[in-house]
Amino acid sequence: MILNDKNGKKINPSTAEGLAAIATSVCNGCVPATLSDTVDLVHTGYIQPRLLAGNIKVTDVNDNVSTLAFELKEISLFRVKRVWSTGTTANMGIVIVY
């Protein structure tokens, strides 16, 4: 199967080059989340706890604040702009996929 990347270039997902192209088409990067009750993230994105499961308090891009239970390596279905330190029990190893 041949796919097109975000620029319309044809890629073959059965090759290492093709898999790398798919990854960069899906997201621009993955960085550790900085937990703060007052400061927004540098990059809005999807959150994923990599080291601990538990509750993560977030502000989404529409300014809704919620606390959600996450399993280990589960990824959010919505983009967030803040990960709170207060109210977050899965407070180690959270990453932002943007």
| Mean pLDDT of all residues in 61-80 | 93
Model pLDDT, residue 6 = 60
49/70 same-domain check: yes
Higher pLDDT: 36 or 13? It is 36
Count of structural domains within the chain:
2
49/14 same-domain check: no
Model pLDDT, residue 80 = 97
19/38 same-domain check: no
pLDDT, mean over the chain? 85
HEC string for the chain: CCEECCCCCEECCCCHHHHHHHHHHHCCCEEECCCCCCCCCCCCEEEEECCCCEEEEEEECCCCEEEEEECCCCCCCCCEEEECCCCCCCCCCEEEEC
45/88 same-domain check: yes
Model pLDDT, residue 7 = 67
41/85 same-domain check: yes
52/80 same-domain check: yes
Model pLDDT, residue 38 = 97
Residue 12 has pLDDT above 90, yes or no: no
**Domain range for 72:** 33-97
| Mean pLDDT of all residues in 18-43 | 80
